[in-house]
Structure 1
């Protein structure tokens, strides 16, 4: 029936949708090439967190990485009985119940076996009384099954079904036999959407009728009383998807409000055939009605999203069969003909701007008026943060670095010429810098810094450390190294830190006019982790952090040594740049993990995978800017964030062992795995059921009895253990979501590998008994041998005595 309804939707004319300045929604699509068919009838998320899809060609389970298909196999009674799936639910024992057009199946996830049920064996399998349209297990453990001709209640003790149908002589009987939807609200009340209206089951087992149709219209008449779905929103309002529009049911005043399509109102419902209703995290209703309709409940206006052949990110098909808002926040839309659509609600904490047309950019500077200056290969550009507008400035010489001094003057360096330019705070003219002797500044500058006294510091490609006094226009060479200077930074104590490309770090004390060298020693873990210095930054507690060879190092000022931060501490191993915010947090831009915020007081790390690797900059207002770089295979963009508005994905993902293999062959498993000694090459596959950027979920595992500590595998989600000795083991796995929120409890499974028969307890007992019997036999033998020996001696003595006696005679 659902299929037929959906096909008829295609025949209903859709009036043109005038999308009035609607926000763009971009969908990710899953089709046949991703392992799932295009004709999907229903979608469901179980209590564990798996997403299940029912199609016309079998059942699918999705774990965030791949689809696993279950379909009917001729002659195999352990497979699903029918591949045309209409409804899915789970029970409190972890079983998955599947309703299809010829009955009901129960799937045991541990044994991977399907059990088949015929609801009405008195009638053919293709009768509507066997065609399942809806399923639900209530909080009391009752399993309800809705069909095209009757409601069923499953009795687990007797393994039988009680059929409930309309009785025209009984007022409190169910009003119609087509049970299209079953829904349990927050209070535990069970609602049934039928072909004749809305039904509520009271505590006595009687049905109370709401929004019913005394004339019993069928769905062909477009009746708003032919109910296809029931949903309760966060405010307690019941919403009904019907063949004649969307119905809002307010139980407080027992009022009903019908939303219909209006060809003269582009913000009205897109189509009167309403299949599914769901609510997103912002409180908007997602409604399937000739495409996707999103209802703003405050304005009572709909925004329409339809298939657009020219837009690859549009919804894949207007014939929507199901909508799911799953636990981690993603929204799934299934279609009949377009496969599966996935939408990740965007995080609103940052704005981004394209910089692709300007070439590679590495630095930003904010002037005293709040204007952002950006160096490019074609000259200077500026950015107005309030108007969010970029402007190309008159200075057209290539610019590789910028600096703002304490007086508000802008210093501009051109690498191609080696010349230095400046713009005074209140002057629009840009002048070239000449020293007090009239000589132009001409060096291969690779690092710039302004200190608290107003001096400018430059590091060059050929290792020079230059100090420029802007007032005296004096340039002084302080030191010359054999290494390229990468970065110069002044800490809160006034010390100047100089990072080189290969020679480690140098600390310059201006008062004492001394340089101190810090380098890496492979034999001393308290030295820097490498000699290539990427960045310096102090956090809010005054601790200096240094990135050396992409590893973060914490400087111990008192002992003048370094603590290398590792993945075991939760820090990334591929750090790139550092920035502090106005709250004293340290921001770490990394290649694999995006951007990380470290709170030095709480010692906690927060991951922001949306903020890609880039060069950071902080404004006076506390906003952070990140320049993503095309050198790292990403489009160059300017990402602007307000740290105070940041929100993480706080969802703690369930951790599931999805597959167990012996010698690379998949086998069913439960809470305990028992293996013989010669089947000891095993492997596991696991998943964190977080569907927001699941490719960024991370894992750690440990086999107790083998691994001394957790093995942090990053995004790798499998583990192998060859040639395990006989014994008892526990395999444990934990994981995180895309923003680094870990499920520390994880999951575990016991593995018992039996020894060969010759190493069992009874074998060893037999060996002991055999040993005892052997000793006993040897002892008996010796005793018998001694006895015989003595007997021979005795006989010989008797014989000798007899012989002597005979001689005397």
Structure 2
């Protein structure tokens, strides 16, 4: 595809080179079609209204998008106020906020938002059922409307429409533009017209071809007018009075059909093409960048037949294509992805770059999971490739197997570590040669490489570490560290090698971290210790880097990220740990890179993370930030000579340019998306208007209220947060997520209330202004005050008569009752004791029930604070409990729960409390216990449960538990203590289950 684009513009002469990666990275979209709820797969018009909703006109009706749900409007002649025409050709929002709809055959209509209906506007004597080609504001509150019958003007004072003659007779109007000077441009099927401000005459704009059909008009910030045509491409008028000139001379822009033009950013303009996708044009250089549909890339443009473009208020781009609606969120531009595509002749040749190397000449080498190597020039694309083949014993071709590692030597050559041996290529990547290494089989796996100070360090999957001094041709010479030295490594599987300060060489293996002193060959083994929060956090070390302060950072599988802080008084190496509790997306850290600004980036099994090396603050980066890839490969990363952090992932390469990643501070409008009283849907415009103050009235015969609402941050709506509160009824805010944006109230007492709604953007930043809805609940006839007073008086009289009669009767019964009471006192006391026990205890396990346990927790936390004593909380969960229920049925599951409860209660110490929180989850409160003792107690309990068995229907059943333990901090309530212990439980689950994880107190 890129080669075709280069040929298309070859005739344009020399141009300034595009910035690095510009023509290689993929513009990523989120696509919406029928499967996502779009009512018709061909969006033909786009608009954003005053409230922030996105409106999509299609060939099968109109729909409104709120980030979660499409609401469709269809034409129905039997329903008054319905859409006049299902084929929506044009959408336009005027300065007053009114949405105008131009149909393919049904004429002009406006959306009456307060009544949620459409009002037809007749055009001309025929009633105006005609094709609407364009709509533009006239600058005075009226509209210009272009149709198949010519040009029309809508008077804002009286709503009257009159036809305005134009200089080209019988020419349907397809495009309109009122420029900043007030001049009106009219694009017709036979040419382009311009009328100067205050003039009644028309000027025909001379074009290179007669009777050119004009399809789109746009004025940029510099006052240049861009002209889209049918089959004549894109034209540009640089200055007033200048002759239009072609933009580009290739077949797409010079002979293609333009459907829409929209600004994309201050530097770029997007041009929608019929059948040729989107052309992004650099407004300064006029260089094009082609955005096309790619059937091998799921999040590419939905289709190449583009009908409409829209840049929304947040700066994101919407594209209406033949295949659906494509959405490209606004990003900082710092993060982009080069995705593998079979349509690209000069991009990646495979989908899985397992190893990445940035060489000194500015190029990037990538080795693939299925074998082979590409050499990428970030300015032009792939410049060389080493293809794999069945070597059959030959030494000059890469094997068809994984390329684990790459390293550049001092002469610009590159070593290539594969599953079947080590190879060497020259700087031009014009061939390879097998490199036999002393003391090892040439076909043995090479999993890690590093070239430093003239020494090639080789890590193997089976034979540890080797250090040799190679010659210019890449062949090994003197051995510095060989097989005899590897006896001091406790694992032969080397994942990563990094040179540190002085004589330090760091080796990451499957069994921890090693430090090799290059002067003495002394080796320190830094082992993983699950019981030590300051030790190496994971056994399998797969990534390392040295930051600008010469600190070692380590990425592990299962243990997250850690920075080495030095040795303690006992000589143990200590680490500062960073995991999911601190914001890391996943505990498997595959690659670590430091960009040119000194920022640390981590590629994980669930996306990319930015780590501030000073504050250790972690920010997960998602698709809305430009990171389209989420599943990164171990060791597949590099930092380029210009400071770009590069990461190989499943599907392609992520490029992170150095620079501050801005916080997402968008204040999205908070709108009501659905409103129902007594099950009847009401128009939402009446509550979304900024001036709406009239209360919503809830009648007594329909005492129910349901309000759905949304914060219109479309970049990642699933990450928005919400809350609501009904003043006069609710004490506190009810917080909820994007899946439950619904406030429902039924059987409210009569009175006046205020419903308050809150929403956030994708970064969790709450909107500054709440949306408030005054609500009045009317009383039923039997709830009126006068009726209540009369009824009260009658009730009092009746009660008085009954009391007198009952008093005489009760006196006669008093003696009998006193005797019966005395006899039953003992029985009642015993029954009360039994009932009290049942009210506080879970009947199956014998542990305290949830309510009683929470009350105990509050008391114990208060006592611990007052006495200055430690207190710990353990949260435990039975592992794979669903499998027990599935295999043995609920009787088996109940038996396991009962057994766990018995073991738990048997292990409690004096003063401890245990409760069943819900399902298979339990909690233990340990007053007067520090974290170390709590960990020992938890491990004993875990081992006891793991070894216990119970027999049900002749079958022996056992179960293990995962536990998280946290110690109470100053000024910490039970909720925060529980959340930290639960984080430890989650970490235990992620680390393999049947284990205990402690959670350290957050830094003060």
TM-score greater than 0.5 by the shorter chain: yes
Task: Indicate the residue corresponding to 2:673 in structure 1.
Answer: 659
- Describe how 1:433-512 pairs up with structure 2 within 5 A: 443-445=490-492, 451-456=500-505, 468-472=516-520, 474=521, 498=526, 500=528, 502-504=530-532
| Structure 2 CA distance for aligned equivalents of residues 360 and 717 of structure 1 | 42
1:475-533, CA deviations, whole angstroms, 9 ceiling, x for partnerless residues? Answer: 55x66xxxxxxxxxxxxxxxxxx462744455xxxxxxxxxx589xxxxxxxxxx9999
2:455 is aligned to 409
- Give the secondary structure class of the aligned counterpart of 1:269: helix
* SS in structure 2 of the partner of residue 643 of structure 1: coil
Q: What is the alpha-carbon distance in structure 1 between the residues aligned to residue 469 and residue 150 of structure 2?
A: 84
* 1:164 maps onto 2:163 in alignment: yes
The C-alpha deviation readout for 1:374-404, integer Å capped at 9, x for no partner, is 64323346788x8689967525444465364
Cα deviation, residue 80, structure 1: 0.8
> Residues 655 and 734 of structure 1 are in contact (CA less than 8 Å); yes or no, is this contact kept in structure 2?
no
| Residues 387-436 of structure 1: per-residue CA shift (max 9 Å, x gap) | 689967525444465364875523222223x3432222657444777679
Counterparts of 2:336 and 2:411, CA distance in 1: 22
Which of these residues, 83, 86, 97, is aligned with residue 83 of structure 1?
86
Question: TM-score, length-normalised on structure 1?
Answer: 0.65
**1:89 positional shift:** 0.6
Alignment of 1:116 onto 2:123: no
Whole-angstrom CA distance in 1 between matches of 2:262 and 2:67: 21
Picking from 465, 468, 478, the partner of 1:423 is 468
Alignment of 1:296-695 (within 5 A): 321-325=307-311, 334=320, 354=353, 355-358=368-371, 375-380=417-422, 394-395=435-436, 396-399=442-445, 401-402=447-448, 404=450, 407-416=453-462, 418-424=463-469, 428-430=474-476, 443-445=490-492, 451-456=500-505, 468-472=516-520, 474=521, 498=526, 500=528, 502-504=530-532, 572=585, 576=589, 578-598=592-612, 600=614, 605=619, 607=621, 608=625, 609-610=627-628, 612-614=630-632, 615=634, 617=637, 619=639, 621=641, 623=643, 625-628=645-648, 634-635=650-651, 637=652, 639=654, 641-644=656-659, 652=666, 654-655=668-669, 657=671, 659-660=673-674, 668-670=683-685, 671=687, 682=706, 684=708, 686=710, 688-690=712-714, 694=716
Conserved in 1, the CA contact under 8 Å of 2:319 and 2:325?
Answer: yes
Pairing 1:225-236 to 2, within 5 Å after superposition: 227-236=214-223
- Counterpart of 1:523 in structure 2 is none
Query: Is the partner of 2:255 in helix, strand or coil?
Result: coil
State the shift of 1:594 in Å.
2.8
Normalising to structure 2: TM-score of the pair?
Answer: 0.54
Secondary structure at the counterpart of residue 165 of structure 2: coil
2:370 is paired with a residue whose SS is helix
Change (3 A) 1:397 1:246: closer
2:758 equivalent to 1:732: yes
Contact 2:466-2:482 within 8 A present in 1 as well = no
Pairs within 5 Å for 1:46-61: 46-47=49-50, 49-61=52-64
Match of 2:146 in 1: 146
Report if aligned partners of 2:134, 2:175 keep a CA contact under 8 Å in 1: yes
2:404 and 2:614 map into 1 onto residues whose CA distance is: 27
Report if aligned partners of 1:539, 1:600 keep a CA contact under 8 Å in 2: no
Q: How does 1:17-96 map to 2 (within 5 A)?
A: 19=8, 35-38=38-41, 40-47=43-50, 49-63=52-66, 67-96=70-99
SS for the counterpart of 1:422 is: strand
Q: Which has the larger radius of gyration?
A: 1
Residues 300/30 of structure 1: CA separation in 2 closer, same or farther (3 Å cut) = same
**Residues 1:209 and 2:233 are matched in the alignment:** no
Query: Structure 1, residues 525-584: CA drift from partner, whole Å, max 9, x if none?
Result: xxxxx99999787876799988896677899999999797877x8764667365444533
Measure, in 2, the Cα distance between the counterparts of 1:681 and 1:388.
70
Partner Cα distance (2:757, 2:245) in 1: 55
Equivalent residues of 1:198, 1:209 under 8 A apart:
no
Shift of 1:699: 1.2
Q: In the TM superposition, what whole-angstrom CA distance separates every residue of 1:427-456 from its partner, at most 9, and x where no partner exists? A: 744477767978866742456665534244
Moved more, 40-49 or 315-324: 315-324
Measured after TM superposition, the shift of residue 732 of structure 1 is 0.9
Superposed displacement of residue 618, structure 1: 5.3
Structure 2: gaps spanning 5 or more residues: 12-22, 339-347, 354-367, 372-400, 437-441, 689-695, 801-1004
Measured on the aligned residues, the alpha-carbon RMSD in Å equals 5.7
1:198 CA displacement: 4.5
Specify whether residues 296 and 467 from structure 1 end up closer, same or farther in structure 2 by C-alpha distance, changes over 3 A only: closer
SS in 2 for 1:745: coil
| Counterparts of 1:362 and 1:17, CA distance in 2 | 34
Aligned residues: 685
The answer as to 2:721 corresponding to 1:700 is yes
The structural deviation recorded for 1:232 is 1.5
Give 1:123 shift.
2.5
CA contact (8 A) 2:414 2:424 kept: yes
Q: Residues of 2 paired with 1:97 and 1:270: CA distance?
A: 32
Structure 1 residues 125 and 707: CA distance shift in structure 2, 3 A: same
How far apart are the structure 1 equivalents of 2:294 and 2:337? 26
Give the Cα–Cα distance (whole angstroms) in 1 for the partners of residues 429 and 699 of structure 2: 68
Q: CA deviation at 1:770?
A: 7.2
- Equivalent position of 1:483 in the other structure: none
Alpha-carbon distance in structure 1 between the residues aligned to 2:430 and 2:314: 35
Stretch deviating more after TM superposition (371-380 or 70-79): 371-380
Quote how far apart the aligned CAs of 1:275 are. Answer: 4.9
Matched with 1:193 is 187
Give the corresponding residue for 2:241: 254
Closer, same or farther: CA 658–728 of 1 in aligned 2, 3 Å: closer
Say whether 1:104 aligns with 2:117: no
Structure 2 residue corresponding to 1:223, chosen from 211, 231, 234: 211
Report the Cα distance in structure 2 between the residues aligned to 1:712 and 1:288, rounded to whole angstroms: 42
Q: Is the 8 A contact 1:435 1:475 kept in 2?
A: no
